[in-house]
Structure 1
Amino acid sequence: MDRELYMGSPEEFIGGEMEGKYCYGGFGYLLSRALLLRLKPFLENCRNDILSARPDEWLGRCIIDYTSTNCVGEYEGLRYHHYELGKNSDPSKEQSKQFKKALTVHPVSDPEQMYRLHRYFTEIELQKTYAEIAKLQAEIKNVSVVAFEGNRSAHWPVGINPPFEPKSRFEVLKWEYFTEEEIYSCIDDSPKCELRGIDRMDVADVIDVAVGELNKKYKPILHLKKQQLINGYRRFDPIRGMEYTLDLQLEVVNQKGHSRSITKRVHLVRPLSKIEIIPMPYVTEATRVHIIIPLTQQDRSYVDHFFEMFASNAFEMSENAILTFLFIYDPVEAQQVNQNDIFGSVKTQINAYERKYPTVKIPWISVKTETPSQIKFMDIISKKHPVDTLFFLATVNTNVNSEFLNRCRMNSINNWQVFFPIHFQDYNPDVASPNQPHPASVDLVKDSGHFDRGIFEESCFYNSDYMATRTQMAADVQENEEILETMDIYEMFVKYSGLHVFRAIEPALHQRYRYQACNPRLSEDIYHRCVQSNLEGLGSRSQLAMLLFEQEQGNST
C-alpha cells in the first residue's frame, strides 16, 4: 500500500531536455494511491510551472519533479503488457501472443473496433472458463471413485446439483410432453396447443445442442443429421433447472458416404444460472403506511375480528400506520343512511377504539355506487392524500401485523416497484376439521390452508405511482369508461405503469376462510379467478376426497 508506483509504457521526453521517462498516455498507466497522496500538494505548482501540449508528458514531468519517480514497464516480475494496433486491423485476425495477453491496446479508432476488441477478449475469457470447468469436472470424477458410494456419488451432469427429491406424491415433478410443433400441457388446460414463442425457441435450441453433442462424440467416424423429433419430455427442477429427454431419429453417414437411420435417446439439463443482484433504490422501514379497508354490507360480520387483531398488532404496538375505512353504499342504502345506516355499528366501534386509544384516529369515507370497483375507490382516496403516501389496499378479512407492514414498506419502491402479496387462506373449517370445534388460530401447514394465487385484492403502492399509471390509461378510459369497472388495480399496473410488479407469497399475511361473492360485472378473467379461488379454498384434495367417500358410504348405507 505504501509503494509509489508509476507504471505503463515508458517513453523518453521529447528533445532530451529532461532526464527520466514518462508513461505514454495512449496505452494508459497505473498510479498507486501512495504516489497520488504524495503528489497532491504539488498539483497546483505543476499547473502553474509546467508547460506542455501533451497531458501524459505534463503529468510525467510533474511526478518526476516532485516525487523523483520514473515510469516503469516492469515491476517485481509483472509486466505492463500493451499492444499497438495497426490501422483498420481486425482483432480476430491478430495471432501474436503479445496481443492475446495485452492489458491495453492502442489506438482504438472507432466504436466498431472497440466492439470487436471487447468480443475477442470476452471469447478468450470464456474459453478459459470452459477449460476451468472441464478441469473441475475431471477432478470431481477422480475424487468420486474413492468416495463411499463410488461413481454414484458424482451426480450427472458433473457439478450440477442433484435432482429434487419429493417428500410425498403431491410433490412429484410433472413431465411435459412435446413435439416440434405442439406441447401437451397448456395453460388453459387444453389437451394440446401449438408450441410458440420462447417455448418453440427453447425446443429448437435443445435439439440443436443434442445433435451437436452427438456429433462431438462420434465424429469423424460417423456424421449425424437430425431427421425428426419422435418424443420430447421436459420438466422444471427447482434445484437443477430444466431437464429434457429427447428421442431423436437421426441419419447416420459413415466415412464411406453410406447412410442409414437410427434412433437415439438423449438427456440434457439447462442449469439454473447464478442469482443476480439487481441494484434497487434505497427504501426504509420508517415510512407510514395508510391501510385502506373497503367495506360492503356483506363484510360487516368480519369487522369485530378485524378490530381485535388490528388493535393488538398495531394500536397497542404504536405501529406507524393509519387505518382508513371506505364504506360502500348502493343507491338504496345511501338514501336510507339517516334513518337506517347499515354501517352505524361500525362507526360506533370506530368511536370506541378512538376513545380507548387517544393517539389513534380512524378516518372513514362514504361512497355510493352500484358496481364496486378498486380503481374508482382509489381515485377518491388518491385525491385526499399527498403524492408520497404509501397505500396498503386490504380487505376486512386480512390479519395485518408489523411483520407484513415492514415488507410492504421494503417491497414498495416509489417510481420503481409495486407489491401484490399472496396471502395464506384458511380452508373451510367444516372441510378441514369436520365434526370438531373451529380452531381459534390456524398454523401455516398444507392441511389447514393454501396460498391463494387467484386473488389480487391486497396491494402496496405509492400514490404517485398510482396517479402516474392512472394518467397513462386516461385515453383508453375516454374510449371505454367500462374498463374502470371491469379492470382491477393489478391489471392496471401491469398494462399501463411500466413499473416492476412484484408478486410473491406472504406468510405474514393471513386470512380466515370466507366465501367471496363474485361480481359478474367485472371482467371475465377477474370473475373466473374469484370463482376458482372459492373452489380451491374449500379444502385440500385429500380432505375433499374423504368427504366424498363418507358421502358415498352414507348413501350406500
Structure 2
Amino acid sequence: MDMRLRGGWRMLFSRSFTTILIGILFGFTATYYSTTLKSLTEPIRCDPSFYQSSKSSSEFDIISRIADQDVFTRSQSLPGHRRGLILVAIMTAAKYVDTRAYNVWKTWAQHIPGKVLIFVAEGTQTIHEDMPVIRLKGVDDTYPPQKKSFAMVKWLAENMADEYDWFLRADDDLYIRGEELAAFLRSVDSSRAHVIGQAGLGNSAEYGLLALGSTDNYCMGGPGIVMSRATLLKVSPHLESCLQHMLTSHEDVELGRCIRKHVGVACTWNYEMQKLFHNNQSAIKESYAKNMKELKDAITLHPIKDPAVMRKVHLRNREFKLRESRARRAALHDELSFAKKATLIRMTPNRTNDLTPWEYINNNKILFCSDRVNCPRHTVDLSIRTEMSDIITQLFDEFNLNARQRGRVLQFQSLQYGYMRVEPTKGVDYVLDMILWFKKFRPPHRTTLSVRRHAYVQQTFGKLRTLPEITFRSNIRANSSLIEDPTIHMIMPLRGRAAIFSRFAEHLKSICARSGDDLHISLTIVLYSSEDEAQNRETIDMLRESMIPVTLIEMGDIAFSRGIALMKGAATLPHNSLLFFTDVDMLFTCDALRRIKLNTILNAQIYFPIVFSEFSHESWSENDKLLADAFHYGRRRGYFRNFGYGLAAMYKSDLMSIGGFDTKIEGWGKEDVDLFEKAIKSGNLRVIRTPEPGLVHIYHPIHCDENMPAAQKDMCHGSKAASLASIDTLVDQIAQYT
C-alpha cells in the first residue's frame, strides 16, 4: 500500500478515536457530577431506630445514641475537597458550662484554625446561646466520665471524620495556643495513625497498677489528646468493646489502652512533649495565676480552673502574638528603608531638659534612677522584670533561629547590668550586659564557652487606639444588676483643723458653682470632737446654705481612726454609690472630678489617683512663692506622690467585695496601703493609677506619734522627710557649706 495512503488512514483513525474518547469522558463526567450534586441536595437521613432507647440496651448502646438532633446531614465531598486542619472537642459538665466552658469559648477557641465543639450531658442547659453545644443523648455527668468521653469520640468519628485531619479531646480547664498547635500539626503526616500528647504511666501511687504493658502508655487527658483521622476511624468500631472491658476508672487510660490495642499506636514517647503539652501538678488551685513562664514554649497548658486566670493567660498569649507581629512589621519596614543603620538615638534634643536620663539596673535587681524625687535606688518593678525576661527570651530566639544548621547555639546565663530609658512619645530603650553560654555541638569542634556580650534593644510604642466609652462600659457591666449613681459622694474624716476645713469648704463652693449640670457632688463628714469643733460646725452650716448636700456623722470623743471613719461614712450610702475618699488638705478641679467619675467603673475598676504633693513652702524659691495658684507644678514646688494611696475612688459594692478598710488600725496611715493591697489581690477588679494634675495636697507639718506601731511610725517619718523639700533645694543648701 502507498505510504501516503497508509498515513492517511492512521490520521483518520487517530482523530476518530480521540473524538470518541472525549465524548465518553464528557458523558461520564456529566453523569457523575449530576449524581453527586443530587446526593448533596438530598440529605441522608438516619434510621429513626438509631435514637430509640431500650431497657435492655448496653452501655455502648447509650453511646451510639449520641446525636443531639434527630436528623443530621452527612457531608459528601466533591473531588478536590480539602478537609479542615483540626476539630477541638471540649468535654464539660453542667455546673461548668456557663463559667469555664464559656470562658474557653470566648478566649482561645476564637483562634483555633478549625472548629471547636463543646460536649455536655443530655439535658444540660446554658444561658449562652452563641456556644456550639453538643448534647450527648443518654449520657449524664457521672464522674469519672468514661461514658461521656467514649461517646464524644464516637460522635466525632460518625459525624466529623470526613471534615478534619486532626481531632483534639480537651477538658474545660485546658488552654490551647491555636497558632502553635497548627504549626506543629502541619509538620506531621496526618494520613498515618497518630495519638499525640504527654505520655503517662500513672502517678506514684498508681504506677504499675494500671495494667499497662511494658511498652504501653497513654496520653494524659488533662493536657489534651490529639488523634489523627486514621486513628479516629480505626478505634471507633472498637469503643463498645473497650468500654465494656475497662480495667481502671480513668477514662484517658482506657482510651489509650483501646487505641494501643486496636490501632497499634501508643502516645508520643518524647521528653519534649512535657513542655509542648504542659501539665502543672504542683499547685492546681494557683496554676499559672502568677507565673506563666511555661506559656512561651507550650502548645497547651493544664489545669486552669479559674476563669479569671484563663482570661489572664489568654491576654498574655495575645501579647506574645502582638509582639511577634510588631517585630515582623519592623523588620519589613527596615527592608523597605534599604537597611537604614540602627541607632539608639530616636530624636535630636534641642536643650538639656529634652534629654531622657538612663536608669541603671545591677545584677541584684536594684534600679538606680536619677530623675525621680527621693529615688536613689529601689527594687525593679515586677512589670519591668517580666518585660526584660521577655526581651531576653526573644533575643535568644532570634540568635538561635538557624542554630542547628550552623552547629552552634547561644544560651542565656545571667544579666550583669543594664540601662533603660523611656522616651514618652517613642518607646523604651535597653542596653544589656549579659553573660551567655556559646556552645558548638557539631563534631569535631564541640565546645562550651562562657562569653560576655552587649545587647542594644528598642521597643517602639504602637499606635494609640480609642474605645468608645459607652460600648466599653456596657460590655463590662453586662453581668451587673446595679445602676450607677451619677453623684460623686466625698467621704472625709475630720478632727479639729478648723482653718484648713474652712479653706476646703470655700474651694468646694467655688468648684460646685463652676461645675455645671454634668457634675453632682455630695459631702459626708465623719466628725470627731475637738477644741475647734464649733468652728467646724459653722463651716458645715455654711456649706448647707450653699445648696451643697452634706451628711454629718458624729463620732464623739473617741480615738481617731481613718479606716473606721471612712467605713462609717460608706455605711450610710447605697451599694451603687460612687465613693471618693479624700482629706481636708486636698484641693481639686472640676476636670479632676470628671476623670474620677470616668476612671471608676462599677464591678470592674477602682481608681487610686496619684496626687501632686507640695513641699514645705519655706523651701520654695521666690518665683514659686509669687505664684498664688495651687495648680502650678515644678520640681522645687512639689512632686507626684507615687507611694501614696490615701485618695481612692470606687463604688460601694466594690469596696465591700474586697473587704473594706481595716478598722483595727488606729492613728496615722497604713489603712490606705492595706486597702490597695486588697484591691490588687482581689483579681476581679482592675486597679488604675495615674498622675492626676487636678488633685493637689497642700503642705502641712506632719506629727508622728512615737507610741504608734513600728510599721506606721516608719511610714510616717518617711512621708514627713519626703515632704520637706526637693532634691534641688537640698543640693543648693549643701553647696552653701562646701
TM-score range, shorter chain: 0.5 to 0.7
How far off is 1:399 after superposition?
A: 1.2
- 1:44-83 matched pairs, under 5 angstroms: 54-56=71-73, 82-83=83-84
Q: Deviations over 1:88-118 (max 9, x none)?
A: 9xxxxxxxxxxx9989982575534995976
3-state DSSP class of the match of 2:542? helix
Q: Over the residues paired in the alignment, what is the CA RMSD in angstroms?
A: 5.3
3-state DSSP class of the match of 1:414? coil
2:651 to 462, 465, 469: 462
1:505 to 691, 708, 712: 691
1:416–1:167 CA distance, 2 compared to 1 (3 A): farther
Which residue of the partner structure matches residue 542 of structure 2? 352
1:245 to 422, 428, 432: 432
Which residue of the partner structure matches residue 293 of structure 1? 492
3-state DSSP class of the match of 2:584? coil
Which residue of the partner structure matches residue 428 of structure 1? 616
The whole-number CA distance in structure 2 between the counterparts of 1:361 and 1:203 is 51
The whole-number CA distance in structure 2 between the counterparts of 1:456 and 1:548 is 32
Which residue of the partner structure matches residue 308 of structure 1? 506
3-state DSSP class of the match of 1:396? coil
Unaligned segments of structure 1, at least 5 residues: 1-11, 26-51, 61-70, 89-99, 146-150, 334-340
Which residue of the partner structure matches residue 541 of structure 1? 727
8 Å CA contact 1:486–1:522 kept in 2: the answer is: no
How far off is 1:512 after superposition?
A: 2.1
1:225–1:110 CA distance, 2 compared to 1 (3 A): closer
3-state DSSP class of the match of 1:111? strand
8 Å CA contact 2:544–2:550 kept in 1: the answer is: yes
The whole-number CA distance in structure 2 between the counterparts of 1:191 and 1:452 is 16
Matched, 1:111 2:169: yes
Q: Deviations over 1:426-447 (max 9, x none)?
A: 2222212259855321412333
1:436–1:264 CA distance, 2 compared to 1 (3 A): closer
How far off is 1:197 after superposition?
A: 8.7
1:317–1:85 CA distance, 2 compared to 1 (3 A): closer
1:192–1:172 CA distance, 2 compared to 1 (3 A): closer
- 1:321-340 matched pairs, under 5 angstroms: 321-329=521-529, 333=530
Which residue of the partner structure matches residue 398 of structure 1? 586
Which residue of the partner structure matches residue 176 of structure 1? 361
1:284–1:55 CA distance, 2 compared to 1 (3 A): same
Deviates more, 1:488-497 or 1:508-517: 488-497
The whole-number CA distance in structure 1 between the counterparts of 2:393 and 2:336 is 30
8 Å CA contact 1:176–1:234 kept in 2: the answer is: yes
3-state DSSP class of the match of 2:695? strand
3-state DSSP class of the match of 1:175? strand
How far off is 1:344 after superposition?
A: 0.7
- 1:431-450 matched pairs, under 5 angstroms: 431-434=619-622, 439-442=627-630, 443-450=632-639
How far off is 1:132 after superposition?
A: 9.8
How far off is 1:270 after superposition?
A: 7.4
How far off is 1:142 after superposition?
A: 4.9
How far off is 1:462 after superposition?
A: 1.8
What is the letter of the counterpart of residue 527 of structure 2? F
Unaligned segments of structure 2, at least 5 residues: 1-30, 45-68, 90-111, 117-159, 187-317
The whole-number CA distance in structure 1 between the counterparts of 2:676 and 2:503 is 31
The whole-number CA distance in structure 1 between the counterparts of 2:88 and 2:597 is 56
How far off is 1:460 after superposition?
A: 1.2
The whole-number CA distance in structure 2 between the counterparts of 1:220 and 1:419 is 53
8 Å CA contact 1:221–1:255 kept in 2: the answer is: no
Matched, 1:492 2:669: no
Which residue of the partner structure matches residue 331 of structure 2? 137
How far off is 1:192 after superposition?
A: 10
3-state DSSP class of the match of 1:385? coil
3-state DSSP class of the match of 2:636? coil
Q: Deviations over 1:417-473 (max 9, x none)?
A: 222111112222221225985532141233322112232221112222223333797
Matched, 1:120 2:181: yes
How far off is 1:351 after superposition?
A: 2.3
The whole-number CA distance in structure 2 between the counterparts of 1:385 and 1:219 is 67
The whole-number CA distance in structure 2 between the counterparts of 1:291 and 1:185 is 37
1:231–1:435 CA distance, 2 compared to 1 (3 A): closer
What is the letter of the counterpart of residue 324 of structure 1? T
1:222–1:248 CA distance, 2 compared to 1 (3 A): farther
The whole-number CA distance in structure 1 between the counterparts of 2:719 and 2:668 is 20
How far off is 1:513 after superposition?
A: 2.0
Q: TM-score, normalised by structure 1?
A: 0.64
> How many correspondences in the alignment?
454
What is the letter of the counterpart of residue 528 of structure 2? I
How far off is 1:491 after superposition?
A: 1.4
8 Å CA contact 1:225–1:251 kept in 2: the answer is: yes
Query: Which of 1 and 2 has higher RCO (CA within 8 Å, sep 6+)?
Result: 1
Q: Deviations over 1:360-397 (max 9, x none)?
A: 34332221355422221123223322222222111111
8 Å CA contact 2:660–2:675 kept in 1: the answer is: no
How far off is 1:240 after superposition?
A: 3.2
8 Å CA contact 2:492–2:582 kept in 1: the answer is: yes
3-state DSSP class of the match of 1:376? helix
8 Å CA contact 1:494–1:501 kept in 2: the answer is: no
What is the letter of the counterpart of residue 398 of structure 1? M
- 1:194-213 matched pairs, under 5 angstroms: 213=398
1:404–1:527 CA distance, 2 compared to 1 (3 A): farther
Matched, 1:528 2:714: yes
